[in-house]
Amino acid sequence: MTREEKLRAEDMGDYFRVHADSRDLNYDKFFVEGSVQTEAEESYTSHNTHRLDLQGTIEKIKTASYVQNALAAEEA
């Protein structure tokens, strides 16, 4: 996730929802007028977020309703 995406993203607690980019794609503004300034302090990367281990990943996947339904169907 880039700094700009993080600024526009909605924090959903366990993840960020990144909305579609609605910026103007007129690149002349960037190349003619200079560099783009952002308000984000740092990029959102795998180095500055919580990383799940294997067990954490399994537990996270099990919270999805379609996975719970599939597991319940296997037990039945």
Confidence of residue 51 (pLDDT cuts 50, 70, 90): confident
pTM over 0.75: no
pLDDT reading at 9 higher than 70 = yes
At 39 the pLDDT is 62
> What b/e sequence results for 20-41 when a residue is b if at least 16 CB atoms lie within 10 Å of its CB, and e otherwise?
eeeeeeeeeeeeeeeeeeeeee
pLDDT reading at 20 higher than 90 = no
> Which of 2-6, 15-19, 21-25 has the lowest average pLDDT?
21-25
Smallest CA-to-CA distance from 6 within 32, 40, 30, 50 is with 40
Higher pLDDT, 46 or 74: 74
